Structure 1
């Protein structure tokens, strides 16, 4: 009987059609997360006009939605580690789609806020589970780039919302954004058919047939059999206990707190910019159309930071790249408060996207892999939930700054503070207590499989 380390097989695998399917679906789901966050900020000026909302009221509605995301991450992430990440993603897609459509049909701001809140619960549980599954199924040597790249979908979702704001909303109204947000509902049947459940979930439940089926997709020439030893007892033992408690055991408590600080500050910056950038640029003297163009530049910066940072993370290490991006952000936000040159403002907004959401995209796979496989959805989900507190506060805090009559440029400078604190959070993480997957070359895995096979034949 061969002994098979299933997770090491995945880590050492070469990128193939199976990995591509996982990537495409995660990219798609995260894309609607980006669309969701951006569409509120894009539609806000028209919504404020239709319902006669003040800046504080509009900021509060944005915060209520983000509070729903926090609840979704807190509740649905531990549930996913116990009952299946794919199953929870399906629930999340359904909630988001149905109630986003309902928000678009809302007759007043009260009903709109309630519908947005429920939709946000679904969206809050979606992101950590996508991150966890993409991390689990990515080949180790490509993992930083692949997991980061699914967040290009996040940026493209924001760009799509901005383009709709420029070209469609003036003719159709802001509600069209929310009708488009219901599209995932139509694709759930195809998702159920194509998307795999977590390998660690099947291992913990001793579903050997499912494990073999996935491993054959990951490594078609592996000749895996149900009679092989997949170390199921150890996997089941690892899966016992309350997932949240494990975030603080085995010397992980200090690092968990540091991670939460970094994510809190990152989301404060990311969601503050996504919600208020068009309005802030409008207050700075730009037309509404030009202000939405800045939002597109911000999203392009997010893509650039994710791709370049993901490549560099594989070369020099994740944490070094993350700290460097946040320090770049400090310089960028201070510079935005000082410059009047329009071309330079575009460049700085681009870098701002790279050092906020770009950094968030790269931080997610690092954080997920920090924790053992059996609690990765919980680790990602709770860091996201704590981060949502920052995202909840940001729209209202910026609204409070703007209603005081403060210069918009000075408001930009305040983003430098959370950027410094986020860098500090990553500096304080104790990597010696992490559970990063081992780098195993495919030749080593093949050799080990051959040795185990020979042993089984000799016995």
Structure 2
């Protein structure tokens, strides 16, 4: 029988999941929309000045560097000032950044604003996982995180789809103005409907606020916090943010989880950048090669949702390792002369083993750390891992420019997936606090 508290909890979690997912849809949109308009800049200097291919590449990288910096900054800030404040500021920040970018007439200013917008995108990506982990129902945390982070590839697909329909009508500036919509839609809703994390408030010793939000939202006070908190004493003994993340307790797993995320994002950005070109070299036409990219991202979304359900039952570590390994096998299959239907199926599995695995990694990390360092842990995963994202396009370009055969390139990517498997398997068991005697 459902109680009033259960109904309040369900309503609260529904609002948080919907708002967080929509936020990451706009994140995905903001990161990909540049790719839909770059050809306009290359062919018409009247927009932001002369843009050469090398300048276009640099402009595209600035947002990713901003994401890296924003994610790392948000980690410590989120564990210090709270999840809600960081997420509300991130919604406003990247929306204003997109609006200002839509009005620029200079390539230099455009690049600076792309970096600035990336700061907000990174802060949101880094903080969302911590909030969802602290509000999701027990036994469904990986599933809820997978649902929310699937907003990123959905936003990428949305950017491509809207560009096909609207770009000729509203131009590149209109496409960027669409990215500013959260300022007047998502932000007001989140302000009223997204509460602060009860677990975070407890971890900081703010018990009165935690109890008030617990009553209002139907969310129970956490039972796994430090003894000092449960005894109503200040939680300052526990170092929060990066200070706690790189303390002796978490140093080794933090380094391994960062490398694991970087490996995953190296694969994600290598394939998302170069898969159409690799398929062209395999003999497919331009339209057919782009269809592989669609299948890749579709497989990522479906694979992450299915994998998260298994992760909630058996634990995320083995599921992430298995997905990396399956991805490696699927990439290796692409070296064979397969029928088109089988090749497409293999590409979908590759999506599950790369982008889908990265979504599962966010769930793994968010549930691995305790509350006082959780925000920093997810931020480290998103921020340090972004180095792999920056390196992905460079790796593909290096291999293609170096004259590597198509099969050799696929084997290199498969080997990276195996590295991801090994890194996942050596992550030590998460620290669980012993039950206090009160």
Query: Under a length normalisation based on structure 1, what TM-score does the superposition of the two structures give?
Result: 0.82
Residues 154-181 of structure 1 show CA distances to partners (whole Å, capped at 9, x for unaligned) of 2211221221243333555444432221
Matching of residues 240-259 of structure 1 within 5 Å = 241=239, 243-259=241-257
Answer with 66-75 or 211-220: which moved more. 211-220
Bigger relative contact order (CA 8 A; separation at least 6): 1
Answer with 350-359 or 274-283: which moved more. 274-283
Equivalent residue for 2:151? Answer: 153
Equivalent residue for 2:202? Answer: 203
Relative to structure 1, the CA distance from residue 232 to residue 24 in structure 2 (aligned partners, 3 Å threshold; closer, same or farther) is farther
Q: Distance in 1 between matches of 2:197 and 2:110?
A: 35
Do 1:41 and 1:274's aligned partners in 2 also have CA atoms closer than 8 Å? no
Equivalent residue for 2:83? Answer: 85
Deviation at 1:379, TM superposition (A): 1.0
Whether 1:272 and 2:270 are equivalent positions in the alignment is yes
Deviation at 1:369, TM superposition (A): 1.9
Deviation at 1:98, TM superposition (A): 1.6
Equivalent residue in structure 1 for 2:419, among 393, 407, 421: 421
Which ranges in structure 2 are unaligned for 5 or more consecutive residues?
Answer: 1-5, 222-227
Do 2:97 and 2:117's aligned partners in 1 also have CA atoms closer than 8 Å? yes
Do 1:268 and 1:390's aligned partners in 2 also have CA atoms closer than 8 Å? yes
Q: Distance in 1 between matches of 2:406 and 2:169?
A: 30
Residues 200-233 of structure 1 show CA distances to partners (whole Å, capped at 9, x for unaligned) of 34325554443223222443899xxxxxx97364
Equivalent residue for 1:73? Answer: 71
Relative to structure 1, the CA distance from residue 66 to residue 246 in structure 2 (aligned partners, 3 Å threshold; closer, same or farther) is same
Which ranges in structure 1 are unaligned for 5 or more consecutive residues?
Answer: 1-11, 223-228, 439-451, 453-459
Equivalent residue for 2:180? Answer: 182
Relative to structure 1, the CA distance from residue 230 to residue 437 in structure 2 (aligned partners, 3 Å threshold; closer, same or farther) is closer
Q: Distance in 2 between matches of 1:385 and 1:333?
A: 26
Answer with 27-36 or 44-53: which moved more. 44-53
Equivalent residue for 1:8? Answer: none
Equivalent residue in structure 2 for 1:354, among 352, 355, 370: 352
SS where residue 212 of structure 1 aligns?
Answer: helix
Matching of residues 112-191 of structure 1 within 5 Å = 112-170=110-168, 172-187=170-185, 188-191=187-190
Do 1:371 and 1:436's aligned partners in 2 also have CA atoms closer than 8 Å? no
Whether 1:21 and 2:15 are equivalent positions in the alignment is yes
Matching of residues 405-444 of structure 1 within 5 Å = 406=404, 410-431=408-429, 433-435=430-432
Residues 357-401 of structure 1 show CA distances to partners (whole Å, capped at 9, x for unaligned) of 211111112112211211100111112211011111222332344
Do 1:332 and 1:348's aligned partners in 2 also have CA atoms closer than 8 Å? yes
Q: Distance in 2 between matches of 1:406 and 1:178?
A: 37
Equivalent residue for 1:213? Answer: 212
Residues 79-129 of structure 1 show CA distances to partners (whole Å, capped at 9, x for unaligned) of 111112111112211221121233334334333221111100111111121
Q: Distance in 1 between matches of 2:218 and 2:240?
A: 33
Superposed CA RMSD in Å reads 3.1
Deviation at 1:344, TM superposition (A): 3.1
SS where residue 140 of structure 2 aligns?
Answer: helix
Equivalent residue for 2:370? Answer: 372
Residues 140-161 of structure 1 show CA distances to partners (whole Å, capped at 9, x for unaligned) of 2111111111122122112212
SS where residue 202 of structure 1 aligns?
Answer: helix
SS where residue 141 of structure 1 aligns?
Answer: coil
Aligned pair count reads: 420
Do 1:47 and 1:174's aligned partners in 2 also have CA atoms closer than 8 Å? no
Q: Distance in 1 between matches of 2:376 and 2:216?
A: 26
Equivalent residue for 2:95? Answer: 97
Relative to structure 1, the CA distance from residue 186 to residue 153 in structure 2 (aligned partners, 3 Å threshold; closer, same or farther) is same
Deviation at 1:313, TM superposition (A): 1.1
Query: Under a length normalisation based on structure 2, what TM-score does the superposition of the two structures give?
Result: 0.85
Equivalent residue for 1:193? Answer: 192
Matching of residues 189-338 of structure 1 within 5 Å = 189-204=188-203, 206-219=205-218, 231=230, 233-234=232-233, 236-239=235-238, 241=239, 243-278=241-276, 280-281=278-279, 286=284, 288-338=286-336
Do 1:166 and 1:292's aligned partners in 2 also have CA atoms closer than 8 Å? no
Relative to structure 1, the CA distance from residue 371 to residue 124 in structure 2 (aligned partners, 3 Å threshold; closer, same or farther) is same
